[in-house]
Structure formats: C-alpha cells, structure tokens
Amino acid sequence: MFEEDSKRDSTSDPESRKRLLTDEEVLQQEPNKAVKTLSWLAIAVLVLFVACSVGFIGVWIGRHHARQDPTEKVCTERLNQYSPLWDEVKISYEVQHFNGSLLKENVFRKDASPEVDAAWESLGVNYRSVAIPADKAKRAGIAKDQVKISDKYGGGYPANVEGLHQLHCLNLVRQSLYYNYEYYHKSGKGAFSNADHIVRKHVSHCLDIIRQQLMCTVDTGVLGQVWFQPTNGPIEAFVDFNTQHKCRNYEAIRAWAEAQQIPATVPADFLQPPRPGDTIYTTIP
C-alpha cells in the first residue's frame, strides 16, 4: 500500500509531472537534432561530390574535345607564336582551291605593269608598322629593349605582321625576275631606290625568308597526276597542281593590319630614345 501511495504521489504531483515531461521532451529532441545534423552533413557532402564530379567531367570533356577535335582557336594557338592579332581578329579557316595552272595566268603572274603592281599592293605588301601594346609584347616575341613608342603617343612597340612581310618579300623576288628587273630598276622606287648591291642583298634576304617560312610550315598535302595528251603527241602523266587547301581568313588579317597602321607622318619624338642597357647594334642584324 505504501508503494502504491508513493507511485500515486510521484505521478500525480504537478511538479513531478512537469519535470518528467520535460525530461521526456529532451530525450525526444536530442536524437532529432542529431538526425537533422547528420542529414545536413550528408546533403553537403553529396552536393560537394556532385559539384566536383561535374567539374572533373567538364574538364575531361574539354581536354578530350580539344585533343580529338580542336577548335580553330586552339589549333592556331598551339601551332604558332602568340600574336596580339588573336585578341582582335577571329582566326578562321576555309577550304580554297589553288590555281596551280601552268599556262593560265592570273594578274599576279603577269609581266610588270601598273595593273600588276596595284594587285600586289592590294594584298598589303607595303603596309606600315602597327603598335603592339607593351603588356603583349613579350608574349609576341618582342624583347624589352627593342624600339619603343614614346609614352606620350600611347607607348608600345612598332612591329610588322610577318605574313605581310613574307608577301612583301615574294613581291620583291617577282620584281627582280629577269623579265621584270629592268622595269623596276628604271623606276627607282621602293627597294630599287637603293644601290644595286643593296638591292641584291635585299632580294637574297627575301628569298631566304620565304625558304625558311615554307620549311617551317611545310605543306604535307600531296599532288596527284592527270593524263595529258598534247596535239599530235603521246599521252602522258602530268602533275595536277590545282589542289585544295585549308586556308586562314587572309582578308580579315589584312584588314586589321591596314586599320592599325601607324600614321605615315609622326612627330620627331614619336620613338623613345634608347635607354641605358638597351641593345644597340653596330651592324644591321
């Protein structure tokens, strides 16, 4: 009976009941908090794992795609010295059919004349220098101690687009062919305003520039052969020089070089004088 009274008192006392309920609530809440904490932790880990996986897969796909099917931009960057041109001109490629005919001449092959000169000029063979920003010069292969433009005129380095210089060289070789030489020598213009021995050096310089460029970017295409039968002659095999090539968008590059030309007339202090430590050659390099 005493035990029954004690049990009845302990459960019927308001304070005891309040205390008991509070303890029960605590016992119920603690596991819930733990479960919630673990749930959020699991979700965070899962999200992090998914994000890392997606990032890894993205990088892998990007590298795989670039390796298996490189974009034109990636192709250009991997195979060439950096050029500031890339930042302003979209380098693209297109298939072109070369005119390799032995007998059918275009204007670029004709004998010297104002018409022929105009055609070559239209290619940009005599464009003036462009200004390369100082922060891009090193990547472009320009040394820090090379000729600079004065800061008061924008700074940077004067430079020429190599492809246009190579065409300039090809044009000079054309002008120096035995059947064109007299025409240009008499004009006394451009390279032919110099003494004959300088013209000779200029031409041989250009010839070797073209040789080096052709070897550097050696064309791995192949030339097939066609059947040819001259009048009253036997049928024979003849090389087909009319082939397809994948070419850069030359016109976009030429247009950029034209638009970026340094003015034909500049102030006397346009170029910054050499500073201590800058290389000064005693002979033409």
Instruction: Indicate whether 12 and 130 sit together in one domain.
Output: no
Q: Is residue 191 part of a domain?
A: yes
- Residues 150, 261, single domain; the answer is yes
Provide the domain limits for residue 44.
2-68
User: What's the mean pLDDT in 34-48?
Assistant: 65
* One domain for residues 266 and 158: yes
pLDDT at 11 over 50: no
CB proximity list for 165: less than 8 A, separation 6 or greater: 209
Q: Verify that 140 and 26 share a domain, yes or no.
A: no
Residues 37 and 143 in one domain: no
Domain total for the chain? 2
- Domain limit, last residue, from 43, 68, 93: 68
Same domain as 259, residue 198: yes
Are 50 and 170 in a shared domain?
no
Q: Note the pLDDT tens digit of each residue in 20-38.
A: 555 555 445 555 555 556 6
Q: Are residues 79 and 54 in the same domain?
A: no
pLDDT of residue 72: 80
Under the banding of pLDDT at 50, 70 and 90, the label for residue 65 is very low
Give a yes or no: residue 284 inside a domain.
no
Burial per residue of 109-122, b for 16 or more beta-carbon CB atoms within 10 angstroms, e otherwise: eeebeeebbebbee
Query: Is the pLDDT confidence value at 52 over 90?
Result: no
d(CA 93, CA 249): 6
Q: Are residues 47 and 180 in the same domain?
A: no
Q: What per-residue confidence (pLDDT) applies to 122?
A: 99
- Between 3 and 241, the more confident residue is 241
pLDDT reported for residue 172: 99
Question: Taking the complete model, does pTM exceed 0.85, yes or no?
Answer: no
CA–centroid distance for 162 within its chain = 14
Q: Are 159 and 143 in contact (CB under 8 A)?
A: no
Helix (H) or strand (E) holding 29: helix 14-68
In-domain check, residue 281: no
Identify whether 183 is part of a domain. Answer: yes
Among the ranges given (43-47, 130-134, 158-162), the one the predictor scored with the smallest mean pLDDT: 43-47
